[in-house]
Chains A and B, each alone.
Chain A
Amino acid sequence: MIHLIEQIINGLQLGFVYALIALGYTMVYGIIRLINFAHGDVFMIGAFVGYFGFAVWGLPWPVAILVSMAVCALVGMAIERLAYRPLRKKGAPNIAALITAIGVSLFIEYFTSLKFVFGPNYRVVERPFADKLFHLGPINISSVQLLVMGVVLVLVAGLQFIVYRTKVGKAMRAVSHDRDAARLMGIDVDRVISYTFAIGSALAAAAGVLFALAYPQISPFMGIMPGLKAFTAAVLGGIGSIPGALLGAVLMGQAETLTAAYITTDFRDAIAFGILILVLMVRPAGLLGKAGPEKV
């Protein structure tokens, strides 16, 4: 029983990290209907910047997270401006943007794995603080787990505030619903899209740093699987829905962790995706997605 609870906590830690990444996917999809394949690589860049921050430049880890978030916000905006916006201006079909996103993802991975950049190998991350074990009755919980979950909760709360209590957030929601109508209302759609990328990328960066602290190995290709799983989580919850992304991510985290702990690590990923497919059979638009009936 205790073991189960500890595994659930492990699953929450993982799920919360996925949640930060999933939020970026879902917000970008909600606003421009693009699956941003490069998002997982922004997560990776965030991890590296954070790593350099506290391991090389000696920054305190909260500062490292903030620096990483700022850098990746810029990276995200740059990607949008250089790779996706030209296609949007051309009125190109969504699939073109998707393939370009794949190209950007590959570019980031191959570029950062060059010897004179990060190099292709794994690096081990030394945590800048000791990992203490706390005891809640018979249950053990580590300071890293608390840290990860705490930071994620703070960031998600911050996101909720931005999306629902600020003008920028309102503009983001408006553009998500109807881009043309928003434009007619005087909203600078291009700028709103930029902000969405900035916020999503910043969250992914935080996820990257937290991931590096929690599972201390980083490499230029580390973003592929977490990116894929986070994207799956976003779809599972209903792509375009922020609460959906959170729910989906928590579920994915649990599915993965509990399968590894109680069934087998070998089939861990298969079962997680198997659950996804089963959910889509029953809820074709994801758990919280709206399967709007098509207007004929």
Chain B
Amino acid sequence: MPLLECRNVSRYFGGLRAVGGLSLTLEPGELVGLIGPNGAGKTTVFNMITGIFPPTEGEVLLEGRSLAGLAPYRVTQSGIARTFQNIRLYKEMSVLDNVRTAMHADRGYGLFDALLRTRRFGAAERRLTEQADALLERMKLSARRDEMAGSLPYGEQRRLEIARALATAPKLLLLDEPAAGMNPSEVGDLLELVRGIQRDFGLTILLIEHQMSLVMNLCQRLVVLDFGEAIAQGTPAEIQSNARVLEAYLGKVATA
């Protein structure tokens, strides 16, 4: 069964149609790109999937179960994690804590354990710290472990956001413009990183991105949005030669 399914999903804000009749499926293990001009509704799709607001029409299913009415934190606990277009790290917390906080749902102890400092608390905290350190190691952020997240350089902040999302042990990872503001060499590193984490963590990934070099080389499949509608779905090669897509971008596509 598909991991994620959007069935005829629409979202209206008052009279404005942000997303209209979108249907897409993701099979487990896929790496799919969601692209389109600015304002096409891509982040709105992410917001609906993660439960920030419900679809006005249609439904979103994870492993066949509807996500309707679930609060965002429950959606995350069901196995969907995301990063944000504008970085939303916890600036006044350390890098380590940013990651550890995302493990709260799997902390393994209750309030009394924490207040009374039971043995279970100690063991669980050690485990959480080890797991968080392992993730930081993977994302090459170990050196920054105890620094304030707000003090990190931009590229590392983006990596930290990914690390934090991974800490929720997701099945599906939504990346919202992870390469924004990166130079070509950083984009290359990101490409390797995303491929690597997909492989190592067995993730399904849906990616919003404008940098075509990343999109074309990374994604197995693309969904193209324009004015809230899916105007094309297919492999990168198919999309690159699709007339409607080219028209939507007005020839602004820079192929790798």
Q: Please say whether the chains A and B touch (CB closer than 8 A).
A: yes
Question: B-contacting residues of A (Cβ < 8 Å)?
Answer: 293, 296
Decide if B52 is an interface residue (CB 8 Å cutoff): yes
B78 touches A (CB below 8 Å): no
Contact with A along B27-44 (1 / 0, CB 8 A): 000000000000000010
Shortest B170–chain A CB gap in Å is: 17
Q: Which residues of B contact A296 (CB under 8 A)?
A: 43, 46-47, 52, 84
Interface size class of B (residues with CB under 8 A): under 10
Can you list, as one digit per residue, whether each of B128-145 has a CB less than 8 Å from chain A (1) or not (0)?
000000000000000000
Interface residues of B in 82-135 (CB under 8 A from A): 84
State which residues 40-65 of B face A: CB under 8 Å: 43, 46-47, 52-53
Question: How many A-B pairs fall under 8 Å by CB?
Answer: 6
Q: Mark B195-225, 1 if CB is under 8 A from A, else 0.
A: 0000000000000000000000000000000
- In the bound complex, residues from chain A placing their C-beta under 8 Å from that of B52 are 296
Q: Which residues of A lie under 8 Å from residue B84 when comparing CB positions? A: 296
Q: Shortest Cβ distance from A43 into chain B, in angstroms?
A: 37
Chain B residues with Cβ below 8 Å from A293 are 53
Nearest B-chain residue to A294, judged by Cβ: B52
Q: Can you identify 6 A-B contacts, CB atoms within 8 angstroms?
A: A293-B53, A296-B43, A296-B46, A296-B47, A296-B52, A296-B84
B152: shortest Cβ distance to chain A, in Å?
20
CB distance from B46 to the nearest CB of A (A): 8
Report the nearest A residue to B43, measured CB to CB: A296
A296 to B53, CA, bound (A): 11
Chain B residue nearest in CB terms to A295? B86
Residues on A with C-beta less than 8 A from B53 are 293
Nearest-CB distance from A13 to chain B (Å)?
39
8 Å CB contacts to A: which residues of B10-36?
Answer: none
Chain A residues positioned under 8 Å from B46 (CB to CB): 296
Interfacial residues of chain B within 213-249, with CB under 8 A of chain A in the complex? none
Chain A residues with CB below 8 A from B43, complex form:
296
Q: In whole angstroms, how far apart are the Cα atoms of A296 and B47 in the complex?
A: 8
Determine the residue in chain A with the shortest Cβ distance to B44: A296
Complex Cα distance, B84 from A296, in Å, reads 7
In angstroms, Cα B13 to Cα A293, docked, is 10
Chain A residue with the shortest CB-CB distance to B46: A296
Closest to B85 in A: A296
User: Which partner residue on chain B sits nearest A293 by CB separation?
Assistant: B53
Question: Within the complex, what minimum Cβ distance (angstroms) separates A93 from chain B?
Answer: 11
Q: B86's closest neighbor in chain A, by CB?
A: A295
Q: Which residues of A contact B47 (CB under 8 A)?
A: 296
- 6 closest A-B pairs by beta carbon, nearest first, are A296-B52, A296-B47, A296-B84, A296-B43, A293-B53, A296-B46
Within the complex, the shortest CB–CB distance from A153 to chain B, in Å, comes to: 35
Cα-based distance from A250 to B243 in the complex (angstroms):
61
| Shortest Cβ distance from residue A290 to the other chain B in the assembled complex, whole angstroms | 13
State A147–B28 Cα separation when bound (angstroms). Answer: 75
Which residue of chain A has the shortest Cβ distance to B50 in the bound complex?
A: A296
CB distance from B49 to the nearest CB of A (A): 12
Residue of A nearest to B72 (CB): A296
How far apart are the CA atoms of A38 and B43 in the complex, in Å? 43
Min distance, Cβ A292 to any Cβ of chain B, angstroms: 11
Q: What is the distance, in angstroms, from B81's C-beta to the closest C-beta of chain A?
A: 14
Say how far A94's CB is from chain B's closest CB, in angstroms. 15
Give the distance in Å from the alpha carbon of A255 to the alpha carbon of B47 in the complex: 41
CB distance from A284 to the nearest CB of B (A): 16
The distance from the CB of A49 to the nearest CB of chain B, in whole angstroms, is: 45
